[in-house]
Amino acid sequence: MEVKIGVQHAPREISIESVQSAAEVEKAVADALSGAAKLLSLEDEHGRKVLIPADRLAYVEIGEPAARRVGFGAAL
């Protein structure tokens, strides 16, 4: 699951491939924004944790990873 996170006052977004489902990521974001958790905590595909202060979240984009194209053809 590809997750892109915008952080206030940061020039770039954080992009991770998470092993968590979309529902799990959405619940973690909702908990962080509601004040139930002070940090948004997500785990990437390598087992590393990403922690972001809830009060610094600008946006969270949840989506499936794009399929990587292989080869030299320009066919779509």
The CATH number linked to 24 is 2.30.30
Say how many domains are in the chain.
1
Q: How far apart are CA 8 and CA 5, in angstroms?
A: 10
pLDDT band of residue 76 (cuts 50, 70, 90) is low
Q: How far apart are CA 18 and CA 49, in angstroms?
A: 10
Q: Tens of pLDDT along 41-67?
A: 999 999 999 999 999 999 999 987 656
Q: How far apart are CA 4 and CA 14, in angstroms?
A: 6
**Range of 36's domain?**
2-63
Position 73 in a domain: no
Six-digit token string for 16: 């991770």
Buried b or exposed e, range 57-68, using 16+ CB within 10 angstroms: beebebeeeeee
pTM: 0.77
Position 76 in a domain: no
Position 75 in a domain: no
**38 pLDDT more than 90:** yes
| Predicted local distance difference test score (pLDDT) of residue 1 | 86
